[in-house]
């Protein structure tokens, strides 16, 4: 049976919740699994890595993420341990890194997978803005699958402690110069990982009015998102954008406030388990896609909803 490699995202002491989904998938696969972590200290996450055969810890020192160096190092590890399959989170980092690895190894990569069958080298992912699901059969020797967050189960770690092998970053020709990395505010919940999201559209009217949504989000421990219209108007920051040109999210609950429901936004959140829409226009397209709808002024409805939830939660 082929050796399986998995990429664990861990930086700034932040262990992504979606890592649990990748790790659970790997444990259930029955394969010898090699987890690759780019971090100088992994002592805080050792318990999360139980049940994995081997952890390859790449110490980067004071060097920050650089795709040319990381991809060259990762390819070297894949070859050394004869990995034939590789999985990770369908995140911004891996959507940047893994295509480079795929090109270096002349391998197939399928991102945004909602189903993966390693035994038969098959995967399923949404296509055409989520209108269809496409099944892929991979015939290459080396295969890469990136899993959509909040689709696969993330169970608690169990099993023996893994063997840890330490590596260092390799030198590589730098073809990409990262000029600046703009960090989101630490208080924000990563929308791709959030189980509940409250989003606002153009009807929010101003950046300050997003405080209404933030109050509701605080009660629900939710992330705060926005439509492209709200971002373009300057009401919200780009990292909050949900949609075809923003983030694809998959929460248990998505509350759309003052969002019309254009297809560009819908494709970014259509797989939400429950969709609640709040809009003054009873003919807004969002109501045709929502599980529950409230026709009303969001500036009246949302505060009332917040207060009622405070009483019950």
Domain ranges (residues) in the chain: 3-168, 196-312
Q: How many CB atoms lie within 10 A of CB 171?
A: 10
Residues 256 and 276 sit within 8 Å (Cβ to Cβ): yes
Task: Compute CA distances 153 → 23, 55, 121, 156, whole Å.
Answer: 10, 21, 20, 10
Residues 307 and 215 sit within 8 Å (Cβ to Cβ): no
Least confident of 130-134, 268-272, 275-279: 130-134
Q: How many CB atoms lie within 10 A of CB 238?
A: 14
What is the rounded average pLDDT of the residues 254-272?
A: 94
- Portion of the chain with pLDDT greater than 90, in percent: 81
- For residue range 140-149, list pLDDT tens digits in order: 999 999 999 9
What is the rounded average pLDDT of the residues 301-311?
A: 96
What fold, for 196-312? Rossmann fold (3.40.50)
State pTM to two decimals: 0.84
Cα–Cα distance for residue pair 151/135, rounded to 1 Å: 16
Query: Does 196-312 match 3-168 at the fold level?
Result: yes
Residues 46 and 161 sit within 8 Å (Cβ to Cβ): yes
Architecture of domain 3-168: 3-Layer(aba) Sandwich (3.40)
Cα–Cα distance for residue pair 70/12, rounded to 1 Å: 17
What is the rounded average pLDDT of the residues 90-99?
A: 94
- For residue range 241-261, list pLDDT tens digits in order: 999 889 999 999 999 999 999
Q: What is the pLDDT of residue 290?
A: 97
Residues 224 and 240 sit within 8 Å (Cβ to Cβ): yes
**Residue closest to 27 by CA, chosen among 141, 123, 154, 198:** 154
Cα–Cα distance for residue pair 71/286, rounded to 1 Å: 41
Question: Locate tokens 């996450």: which residue?
Answer: 45
């Amino acid at each position: 049976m082929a050796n399986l490699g998995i990429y664990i995202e861990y930086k700034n002491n932040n262990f992504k919740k979606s890592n649990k989904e990748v790790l659970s998938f790997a444990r259930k696969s029955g394969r010898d699994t090699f987890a690759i972590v780019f971090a100088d200290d992994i002592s805080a996450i050792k318990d999360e890595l139980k049940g994995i055969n081997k952890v390859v810890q790449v110490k980067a020192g004071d060097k920050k993420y650089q795709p040319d160096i990381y991809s060259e190092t990762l390819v070297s590890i894949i070859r050394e341990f004869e990995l034939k399959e590789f999985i990770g989170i369908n995140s911004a980092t891996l959507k940047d890194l893994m295509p480079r690895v795929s090109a270096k190894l002349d391998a197939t990569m399928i991102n945004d997978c909602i189903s993966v069958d390693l035994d038969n080298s098959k995967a399923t992912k949404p296509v055409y803005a989520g209108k269809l699901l496409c099944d892929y059969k991979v015939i290459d020797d080396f295969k890469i699958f990136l899993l959509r967050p909040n689709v696969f189960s993330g169970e608690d770690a169990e099993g023996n402690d893994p063997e840890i092998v330490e590596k260092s970053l390799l030198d590589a020709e730098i073809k990409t110069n990262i000029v600046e990395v703009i960090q989101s505010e630490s208080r924000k919940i990563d929308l791709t990982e959030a189980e509940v999201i409250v989003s606002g559209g153009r009807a929010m009217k101003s950046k300050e009015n997003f405080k209404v949504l933030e109050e509701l989000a605080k009660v629900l421990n939710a992330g705060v998102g926005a439509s492209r219209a709200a971002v373009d108007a300057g009401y919200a920051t780009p990292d909050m954008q949900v949609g075809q040109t923003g983030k694809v999210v998959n929460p248990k609950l998505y509350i759309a406030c003052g969002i019309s429901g254009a297809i560009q936004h819908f494709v970014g959140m259509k797989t939400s388990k429950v969709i609640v829409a709040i809009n003054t226009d009873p003919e807004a397209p969002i109501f045709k896609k929502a599980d529950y709808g409230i026709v009303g002024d969001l500036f009246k409805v949302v505060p009332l909803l917040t207060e009622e939830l405070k009483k019950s939660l």
